[in-house]
Homo-oligomer: A and B are copies of this chain.
């Protein structure tokens, strides 16, 4: 982990530290934590208990690094709540976003395949509740708990499909289409079938990293989309960006 501190930390510190959550199954047992919104039936609290030793519940404030590229890879993470961005930095300093994870996702799984160093960094995009599971504990739990291994396999499959889609997107589509696709996927993040929705806040630099192009290109296309009425900045100054899905879809299907 980038800064594996578990202390409570004082009010203001340079790098905010994650806060360890104690497992308190007895307390608050009348109101279990809400299940992930991904449509999976799964109680992370049960998960926590079945893994036994070698796991730790952590809280990361927004923008904090959960793991950093190059760190030793000795554990797997499970995202209970929040959103996390996965990024890679190239040898010559370019940065790319290879995924945005929502709750119910695992990350850092490369460790289980024998990767000894992290190949990417994970950063909290919101306040995040995370489970940190030692590699060995994870392997053991996968053998013991069918519920867990089912969940894990399902996640790996989904992630595989997403990587495949992203790769194909890169191979086939121009940056304009890729940007359109990224905006659409952000708009539908969680909700389905909504004709237009508002994306919280996202600077062009971040969009560029996600799409795999430069910020200037994003600027260019965003203006184009705006002139064509595919998006608008109705939100005002707070960065709220409204996406008209049906219109943007035209870009994709050209």
Q: Are B98's CB and A172's CB within 8 A? A: no
- Interface residue tally of chain A, by bracket? 35 or more
Q: Are A88's CB and B168's CB within 8 A? A: yes
Question: Which of A49-57, A60-68, A159-167, A183-191 is the contact stretch?
Answer: A159-167
A234 contacts B by Cβ under 8 Å: no
Chain B residue numbers with a CB within 8 Å of A163 are 160, 163-164, 167
Total copies of the chain: 2
Q: Name, among A91, A119, A157, A253, the residue most crowded by chain B CB atoms within 10 Å (CB to CB).
A: A157
Q: Are B170's CB and A170's CB within 8 A? A: yes
Give chain A's interface residues, CB within 8 Å of chain B: 88, 90-91, 94, 96, 98, 109-110, 112-113, 115, 119-120, 142-143, 146, 149, 152-154, 156-161, 163-168, 170-172, 212, 253
10 contacts between A and B (CB under 8 A): A90-B168, A98-B164, A98-B168, A109-B160, A112-B153, A119-B165, A153-B153, A163-B167, A166-B167, A170-B171
